[in-house]
Chain A
Amino acid sequence: MKPWIATRPRERQAVETKLPTHVWLPAELRPHFDAPGAPDPLLLWPTLLLVGWGLVMVYSASIAVAAEQYGTPYFFLIRQLFFVAIGMGVAWWTYRLPLRWWEKNSHWLFVASLVLLILVLIPGIGKTVNGARRWIALGPLNLQPAEIVKFTIALFASHYTVRRFHAMQSFFAGFLPFLVVVAGVGSLLLLQPDFGSLVVMSVVAFGILFMGGLSWRIVGLLAAAAIFVFAALVVVSPYRMQRFVAFLDPWSDPLGKGYQLTHALIAFGRGEWLGVGLGGSIEKLFYLPEAHTDFILAVIGEELGWAGVVTVALLFGILVWRMVEVGRRLVHVEAYFPGLAVIGVALGIGVQAVINMGVNVGLLPTKGLALPFMSYGGSALVMNLLAVAFVMRAEWELRSLCRRNPV
């Protein structure tokens, strides 16, 4: 299979890789992969830093809970190390997989992820934790289909936008079919329920459409609809509204509904500007629930202070900006599908990071979203690493194209 951006064989040699090519692979799969050059450092390093730092913080945040519940302080660290290894392996091959393969198979991938999303709802296959059926048990590991959908929705939406570009101004021909698909996926997510993933998935889907030139009229319509639904909720059931905004004043019920958030806030207050020192968190000693998953930023804030929070935000900022820039350039050179998909990945990671951080500091209601790359959790880590590798691959193909055809 040829790379998505065609190159002539002679020129192909000129950009031959510096990376090792003699990696084990079954013979029948070998033709799918090639050997690209070194990845973009602005994508690579923020990712590696976030993952490496995440390992340290997962260990630090989970040490007491792991020792208490599993008898070893390394329980979560070892598992997360294993997930990183898998994620790195997946990313390794993803980087060697030409973009053309993704475009060609995007439908199948999307359908496969939908199948998983349906499978997880079937009792006996899906595993319920805390009232939410989100995981498919695979031996000792758990697969979270929602994490996969967050990526495949980007492939689907990009592909859809590219194929229906001419219809982007039309509501019925362009938008409605898309809305039906996204609403279907959203319903599957709500059945789990996984409201957080629904938000991220929707932002990715509509964001790609928006970037792909969705008519402002439809955007306006969407916004109006959202406001209407929200207002209707407030009118119909004010208590829902109250529960929704309860996060704004966690101190009204600090030991009940506000328990988790008040402890997260206390963590930031204790950490001050430079933190109490790595390992010094008290919140992680059973006070703050989900310290090593959804509330890992609070532990960072406590142990490394505001400086740690700013550093995390900066790393995500660099990563997201770089991804968007890569996407923009891809579209600029008429590589529409990868360009939009890359922007979708950027939106997904960016939105999830912002929501998670917003929850941690009490700007948003608690919705069970993990911090990409850093929080404990295998499916999310592997899928995020895959997504970044996909962006790196796109950047590489863009780079090799520009080298041959300088603008």
Chain B
Amino acid sequence: MTHDLAIGAFRLAVPLPRLVFVLGLFGLFVALVVGRAGWLVAAERHFLQAQAEQRFERVVTVPAARGRLLDRNGTILAQSVETHSIWVDPKLWQDATSEQVEALARVLATTPDAITAQIARGGSRFAYLKRHLDRQTAETILALEIPGVSALPEPKRVYPYRELVATIVGITDIDGNGLEGLERGFNKRLQGHPGKKVLVQDRQGRPIREGEWLVPVRAGEDLILSLDLRIQAAALNAVKNAVTEFQAKGGAAVVIDAKSGEVLAMANWPTFDPDARAQLDWNEVRNRALTDSYEPGSVVKPILVALALEQNVVRPETPIDVRGGVIQVSGFSIRDAHASDRVLTVAEVIQKSSNVGVVKIAQKLDPQALWQHYRRFGFGERPEIPFAGATAGHLFPAQRLKPIEVATMAFGHGMSASLLQVAGAYQALANDGCRLPITFVRLESPPSCSQQQRVISARTARTVRAMLEKVTDVGGTGTRAQVAGYTTAGKTGTARKVEHGQYVHKYVASFVGYAPATDPRIVVAVMVDEPNAQKGYYGGTVAAPAFAEIVRQALPALGVLPDQPVQVVASRAPRG
């Protein structure tokens, strides 16, 4: 303990002021630190958090999922599925080894040169290599760990029923924008709105968590179409068979719900496979039922007669002298296909499809009133449907209708319309004179009939329908439109085609009708373009069987009970 005493007389004590000074200094610094931290929170919080957002957060665009297209029973006709697109950052790609490029070429079943060329076509920092790959292939490619090669999730549109509904549903481009058909018509509703979302990311750019939505993403609507896939299949088959049998250029059929205006089926032949983009023939993509107009021919006759009846110019039993089968109008001869040797009633004019008869009825009418009447049935007017290419057809201008023009309009020449317009006109007849807007979207309830939509009185409509029932009956032009179990009614049409201003021996055969005739549920219009005249070209021969086939399948599908006894070979069980 000696060295302790080396202090000797001095007594060492830590001077209290120095102690207070040092401890006070320490306390002051601690208080400064705590105070400064508190100041950062209390006063600079908002500034610091704004800085944090700037550094941690990134705004990403979240694409909206494209809505599906469904048939009226919920079957998916078009939907988007997740696929993976491989893209390349050309700058990083330069570090790729030739072995890697070869391995990549093997996976993509191409050559390294083709890949290099593909990349050269892209931008300086982004080039698609291959789009819409399945997950497995994409993972195989990513596993090669080639510099600059990444995958990007991209939706792809698939059409499970392919050619069956292709001409109505249409297609999208590779980026998912509607190009054709309803995909284009309903594009706005289907595509929704892409959202903007804040993504919090770490310094490596990896997302940590999802922040708030700046713009909420709105997925595209699922659209339930009015189509019924079963009827669509029946219609397509019937058209295809008619086209094949009569070696025609093409054909189309439209089925409309008579009471609601919903399009239940719309078939075109030829059609296309939406998945086989490479061999796309734009001639096949066309929805000819509404893009192509043709001279409807005799099918407009009942509509003309409806006006004559409405205006009390004629009655069904009014005799019309059609003997000789020819009439002169302004120096032109108008002939009947099958000249009658007796006077026909108005009803018989329709049944026999007499051109002379309708021209004589038309001559009793005011041309302006006739024009207005046709217009009310939708002729010469573009239907309000979501198809870009829908035609308005053609009517002579109302101002200066010449007698010959009125005469040709009477039997459906000198005017043109699409098959859909014709079907729409017959919908008015079938629905007691109320022409409903044609819709491709399923309606929850049948629309009520407004005053504007009533084109003729219910009485007139029924009278005309009674005449049309005769057409499919014995002695009519459309007997082949008969269906076992159901009454049918309709009108045949056989129009010659015009080429370079001349009528040629090319025909459009059509049949438009409805069933059951007693209480119409569906309107069916069938058109066959340029059937081989050797095999037949009358509407009653070429188109009516297709009509019958469609009705035969569509009515049971819709749950409509037969309204006429079917010949049944009854077998009586032997009694005890």
Q: Which A residues are within 8 Å of any B CB, using their own CB? A: 6, 64, 68, 162-163, 165-166, 207, 210-213, 254, 262-263, 265-266, 268-273, 282, 285-287, 301, 305-306, 309-310, 313, 316-317, 320-321, 324, 327-328, 331-332, 334, 336, 339, 343, 347, 350-351, 354, 357-358, 360-363
Contact = CB atoms under 8 A, between A and B. Distances in A.
Contacts of A269: 40-41, 44-45, 47-49, 51-52
Contacts of A273: 41
Nearest to A357: B33
A354 B204 CA distance: 32
A162 B3 contact: yes
B120 interface: no
Interface string B25-37: 0110110111011
**For B10, B40, B202, which residue has the most chain A Cβ atoms within 10 angstroms?**
B40
A268 B33 contact: no
Contacts of A331: 12-14
Given A163-B3, A265-B48, A270-B49, A358 B29 contact: yes
B200 interface: yes
A268 to B, nearest CB: 4
The interface residues of chain B, by DSSP majority, are classed as: helix
A212 B37 contact: no
B276 interface: no
A327 B14 contact: yes
Interface of B: 1, 3-4, 6-8, 10-15, 18-19, 22-23, 26-27, 29-30, 32-34, 36-38, 40-41, 44-45, 47-49, 51-52, 55-56, 200, 202-204, 208
A336 B208 CA distance: 57
17 contacts: A165-B10, A211-B15, A211-B19, A262-B51, A265-B40, A268-B41, A282-B56, A282-B202, A287-B203, A306-B38, A313-B34, A317-B26, A324-B19, A332-B13, A334-B4, A357-B33, A363-B33
Contacts of B202: 64, 282, 285-287
A77 B450 CA distance: 79
Nearest to B206: A285
Given A162-B3, A266-B51, A361 B19 contact: no
B26 A336 contact: no
Nearest to B23: A324
A272 B200 CA distance: 18
Given A272-B45, A331-B12, A165 B7 contact: yes
Contacts of B34: 306, 309-310, 313
Contact of B48 (A165, A266, A328): A266
Contact of A306 (B12, B41, B47): B41
**For B11, B27, B33, which residue has the most chain A Cβ atoms within 10 angstroms?**
B33
Nearest to A355: B29
Given A266-B48, A269-B52, A363-B36, A354 B26 contact: yes
B369 to A, nearest CB: 78
B7 A166 contact: yes
A136 B40 CA distance: 39
A306 B37 contact: yes
Given A268-B48, A270-B52, A324 B3 contact: no
A381 to B, nearest CB: 21
Contacts of B52: 266, 269-270, 282
Given A324-B22, A327-B14, A328-B14, A354 B48 contact: no
B202 to A, nearest CB: 4
Nearest to B47: A269
